[in-house]
Amino acid sequence: MSAVPVSIVFHRFGAHAQPVLSDELREQGFRRRFGETDTALRIGEVYGHHQDLVIADQLANRLRDLDPTAVFEIVVAPTGEYDGDRIVIDPDLGEYDSGADHAGRALLLADDVITNLEFAAAQITAGRDPAAVLAELDRAVGGPWQRRLAELRDPHRRATTPAHAHP
């Protein structure tokens, strides 16, 4: 498989891990966008490179091993041969994997949404607590990860602000 555009954004990392993570990204060929030459890792900055898909997946595991407290997202851009992928790593929530569009936004396939909704309806019909089913559905579509990233991007943003609103 050919190399694809991969980007990484760190939203949180331990201060002790910054040099190690910076070195790892540099060794893998990642650079900050817009031609920056400073190699110090910064929160919220996009680091990009062309990687093989397998290497990109292994990189997520390597970065998690280097700093288990780190919160970051890796986006593999879609190409003519590949749909795109978005992985969000948060030590409190775990890993969330979804499709991705060219802007790095999570994509949910209609078939997956329909399957999740049908499952939720069946669970509620079978007598399961609707609040528990909705919480499970929210997790299935990445709600907790989206809210966590929104909080880390803007600590003053309320978690209930819709994604499309600009406070």
* pTM for the whole structure: 0.82
Residues of the chain above pLDDT 90, percent? 50
Q: What residue segments make up the domains of the chain, in order of their start?
A: 4-107, 109-167
CA distance linking residue 115 with residue 93, whole number of Å? 23
The identity of residue 40, as a single letter, is: A
Domain 4-107 matching CATH 3.40.1390: the answer reads no
Residue 113 corresponds to which amino acid? V
Helix 130-140 to helix 143-153 angle, to the nearest 10 degrees? 60
Average pLDDT over residues 40-53: 85
The per-residue pLDDT for 71 is: 97
Query: Residue 36: its pLDDT value, please?
Result: 64
Q: Around Cβ 17, how many Cβ atoms within 10 Å? A: 18
Residue 158 has pLDDT above 60, yes or no: no
31 burial (CB, 10 Å; 0-12 / 13-18 / 19+) is middle
The model's pLDDT over 30-41, given as tens digits with 9 standing for 90+, comes to 888 656 666 688
> Within a 10 A sphere around the Cβ of 73, how many other Cβ atoms?
22
CA 96 to chain centroid: 7
The reported pLDDT for the residue numbered 160 is 41
pLDDT of residue 82: 81
Distance, in Å, from the CA atom of 72 to the CA atom of 141, rounded to the nearest integer, reads 18
What is the chain's mean pLDDT, rounded?
85
- Least trusted range by pLDDT, from 25-34, 75-84, 98-107, 143-152: 25-34
